[in-house]
Amino acid sequence: MSGPDAPSPPPPPTPWAGPFRDPDVPAELLWKWFQAEERLYPVVMVMPERYETVVALVGRVAEQLRATCPDLPALAAADGEARDLAQRLASFDPETATVIDLSLIAGAACSIVYRELAARRNQPPDGTP
């Protein structure tokens, strides 16, 4: 169909379009978290001497997020503080902060906790399947 009644073409996809949709978390955050995770792990694979430290740091950040974010909106709200949290936890191993971008650490941790919270979202409060 052409002419004035023709439907307009769909807008071009945004970088966070596609599977990055969740009613409780802005798409931009999901995109950022998943991209951080995708970018982080190949980096540490080429630095085997730092791999264990980086994985442990992601785990510690995720642990702190689990303790303070009971749901997805809380996790989304904590995004702005996740890098600072990674910085504080990395202070125990200052070399990590100079070798790895701490925003990647924070984003990867958010991505992990996001998947856990999203998986639990539809479960009854008592935990039964």
Q: What is the pLDDT of residues 11-50, one digit of tens each?
A: 444 544 445 688 899 999 999 999 999 998 888 788 887 7
Question: Which residues, 6 or more positions from 18, have their beta carbon under 8 angstroms from its beta carbon?
Answer: none
Overall number of domains in the chain: 1
The reply to whether 10 falls in a domain is no
C-alpha 85: how far from its chain's center?
A: 14
pTM of the model: 0.79
The reply to whether 111 falls in a domain is yes
Q: What CA–CA distance (Å, rounded) separates 82 from 24? A: 18
The reply to whether 128 falls in a domain is no
The reply to whether 22 falls in a domain is no
Residues spanned by the domain of 92: 27-120
Mean pLDDT of the chain: 82
- DSSP element (H, E) containing 68: helix 48-68
The reply to whether 11 falls in a domain is no
pLDDT higher than threshold 90 for residue 75: yes
